[in-house]
Chains A and B, each alone.
Chain A
Amino acid sequence: MNTSGIKGFFLEAGAIARFSGRFFREMLKPRFEFAEFLRQCYFLGNRSLPLVAITAFIMGLVITIQSRPTLVEFGAEAWLPKMVSVSLVREIAPVITALICAGKIGSGIGAELGSMKVTEQIDAMEVSGTNPYKFLAVTRILAATLMVPVLAILADTVSLYGAFLGANLRGAVSWQLFWNQVFSTLVYGDVLPSLIKTFFFGFAIGVIGCYMGFTSSKGTEGVGISANSAVVVASLAVFILDLLAVQVTDILKLN
């Protein structure tokens, strides 16, 4: 898009909104590309799984280690599992997962569809009696919407294991006590909103990746730009959605 600055931002945001509107229209039309959807679920999930797991584990470990001194200062060391489990499950694990997916899935979709666009593969699909939006975009957006929450649940779990390790590096918390504390702290009000927002994260990542790919301009340079802007815009979208999610849960008094 040529226009820059504020105007360009809003134009782009409007175009992305229209693009996602098209998703709902096309999704409801018959002939759902089920095989392609499953293939994408496998690809997207599989591609990000190791990275998400490692990062979540390290985040759990690090947050726990860093929170300890402050709690010790207040003589509240016993609260460590409670505190870290809330911050991990509510915020850190879902957002880290979403950011990694924005990088991995967003750029992957942006580059793949971008190169299909500039080498006319998308046109070729259309000529072959396939609606490219349905076949390529709808399946990927749905797959991202489904897989980001799955990865986030995994990240929640793995980060708590990291926290357990972190809690045991300096002090000693038994396995039993740790999980007892964690589960007595976490309530639906913590888990549910954080899970629900990951669906929106996944949707945004899918839509933005596909939008950038489909609007890729001619040439290989365009492919790089699509992949890059997919990551940047999707990461930004994740933070904006996170901000909105906090406001909504606050208004609904879920915390």
Chain B
Amino acid sequence: METNSNTVIKVEGINKSFGDNHVLRDFSTQLLKGENLVVLGKSGSGKSVLIKCIIGLLKPESGTVDVLGKNVPELEQEELDQLRVKVGFLFQSNALYDSMSIRQNLEFPLRRHRKNMKQEVVNQLVMEVLGQVGLEDTADKMPSELSGGMKKRIALARTLILKPEIILYDEPTTGLDPITGRGISSLMLSVQKKYNSSSLIISHDLACVQMTANRIVMLIDGGCYTTGTWKELQSSEDEKVKQFFE
């Protein structure tokens, strides 16, 4: 695989297994600057594992994960923290802190990554991202008071508050109604335009995929089965690929 100076994430030949369960086998892919790359794969195929290897929550047994020029599995804690400022991660389960209010949830990454930020600046940023996701009036609520779609949007706001260069979305629209799902997809697009960020999106919601994907990677049997644009894959004759687009 040739390296382009525009590559922001380059995953090469990673293997990851849990006991006998060999989840990722020699998986390789790359994400270019400004690109929206969708990873498509069956439930349990290892998409979340892949994305966690990229952010350094899991360590692959072999292979390299190059993010913005740094090999993630070998980074020291401090370098990893610095890198994570530039990489946003939207958890599949949202992972909002349920002992904290929405405001505290949003402040948490700011307070942690930017230690000396003034309170007014923090407040302003919080209101700004809440405005972006259209939930200004929830700042002082607790996560348990919100609906599933609202939680997803707050989780997205928490990811965006650090204005990351790369955003990793783990199933941003799964479990939402089509309208809310479309809302999130267009939000993802507008964020990408505004910050010129690059996104790696995991999804099997075809509406979301169609709206957001510049390029699609099929993760099948732990490897990168094929890659192409929405049009190319949709008209593909390959049985395994076809299944996804029916």
Residues of A participating in the B interface, judged by any CB pair closer than 8 Å: 112, 115-116, 119-121, 123-131
Smallest Cβ distance from B153 to chain A, in angstroms?
A: 16
Q: Does B240 contact A (CB under 8 A)?
A: no
10 additional contacts (CB under 8 A) given A112-B99, A128-B108, A131-B77: A115-B98, A119-B95, A120-B91, A121-B97, A124-B95, A125-B97, A127-B55, A128-B109, A129-B113, A130-B108
- Chain B 105-138, CB-CB to A under 8 Å as 1, else 0, gives 0001100110000000000000000000000000
Smallest Cβ distance from B9 to chain A, in angstroms?
A: 15
Quick one: closest B residue to A124, CB to CB? B95
Quick one: closest B residue to A131, CB to CB? B77
Q: Report whether A128 and B113 are in contact in the complex, using a CB–CB cutoff of 8 Å.
A: yes
Q: Tell me, in angstroms, the Cα distance from A129 to B84 when the chains sit together.
A: 7
Q: Report whether A119 and B113 are in contact in the complex, using a CB–CB cutoff of 8 Å.
A: no
Q: Tell me, in angstroms, the Cα distance from A128 to B77 when the chains sit together.
A: 12
Quick one: closest A residue to B113, CB to CB? A129
Task: Chain A residues near B57: list those with CB within 8 A.
Answer: 123, 126-127
Smallest Cβ distance from A157 to chain B, in angstroms?
A: 32
Quick one: closest A residue to B99, CB to CB? A112
Residues of B participating in the A interface, judged by any CB pair closer than 8 Å: 52, 55, 57, 77, 81, 84-85, 89, 91-93, 95-99, 108-109, 112-113
Q: Tell me, in angstroms, the Cα distance from A123 to B84 when the chains sit together.
A: 12
Q: Tell me, in angstroms, the Cα distance from A115 to B108 when the chains sit together.
A: 19
Query: Could you list some 7 contacts between A and B, CB below 8 A?
Result: A112-B99, A121-B96, A123-B52, A123-B57, A127-B55, A128-B113, A129-B84
Smallest Cβ distance from A16 to chain B, in angstroms?
A: 23
Task: Count contacts between A and B, CB distance < 8 Å.
Answer: 44
Task: Chain B residues near A125: list those with CB within 8 A.
Answer: 97, 108
Name the 3 nearest CB pairs between A and B, nearest first. A124-B95, A120-B95, A128-B109
Smallest Cβ distance from B102 to chain A, in angstroms?
A: 14
Quick one: closest A residue to B170, CB to CB? A120
Q: Report whether B109 and A129 are in contact in the complex, using a CB–CB cutoff of 8 Å.
A: yes
Q: Tell me, in angstroms, the Cα distance from A129 to B162 when the chains sit together.
A: 12
- SS class, residues of chain A in contact with chain B: helix
Task: Chain A residues near B55: list those with CB within 8 A.
Answer: 127
Quick one: closest A residue to B91, CB to CB? A120
Q: Report whether B112 and A130 are in contact in the complex, using a CB–CB cutoff of 8 Å.
A: yes
Task: Please pick, from B77, B93, B109, B112, the residue contacting A120 in the complex, using a CB distance under 8 A.
Answer: B93
Q: Report whether A121 and B98 are in contact in the complex, using a CB–CB cutoff of 8 Å.
A: yes
Q: Tell me, in angstroms, the Cα distance from A59 to B113 when the chains sit together.
A: 50
Q: Tell me, in angstroms, the Cα distance from A116 to B97 when the chains sit together.
A: 8
Q: Tell me, in angstroms, the Cα distance from A126 to B113 when the chains sit together.
A: 11
Task: Chain A residues near B108: list those with CB within 8 A.
Answer: 125, 128, 130
Q: Tell me, in angstroms, the Cα distance from A112 to B99 when the chains sit together.
A: 9
Q: Tell me, in angstroms, the Cα distance from A130 to B111 when the chains sit together.
A: 10
Smallest Cβ distance from A185 to chain B, in angstroms?
A: 46
Task: Chain A residues near B92: list those with CB within 8 A.
Answer: 120
Q: Tell me, in angstroms, the Cα distance from A115 to B109 when the chains sit together.
A: 20
Quick one: closest A residue to B81, CB to CB? A129
Q: Report whether B99 and A128 are in contact in the complex, using a CB–CB cutoff of 8 Å.
A: no
Say whether, besides A128-B108, A128-B112, A131-B77, A123 and B85 are in contact (CB < 8 Å): no
Task: Chain B residues near A115: list those with CB within 8 A.
Answer: 98
Q: Tell me, in angstroms, the Cα distance from A116 to B91 when the chains sit together.
A: 13
Q: Report whether A123 and B91 are in contact in the complex, using a CB–CB cutoff of 8 Å.
A: yes
Quick one: closest B residue to A130, CB to CB? B112
Task: Chain A residues near B89: list those with CB within 8 A.
Answer: 124, 127
Q: Report whether B84 and A121 are in contact in the complex, using a CB–CB cutoff of 8 Å.
A: no
Say whether, besides A112-B99, A121-B98, A127 and B93 are in contact (CB < 8 Å): no
Quick one: closest B residue to A123, CB to CB? B57
Say whether, besides A123-B57, A123-B91, A124-B91, A129 and B97 are in contact (CB < 8 Å): no
Task: Chain B residues near A116: list those with CB within 8 A.
Answer: 97
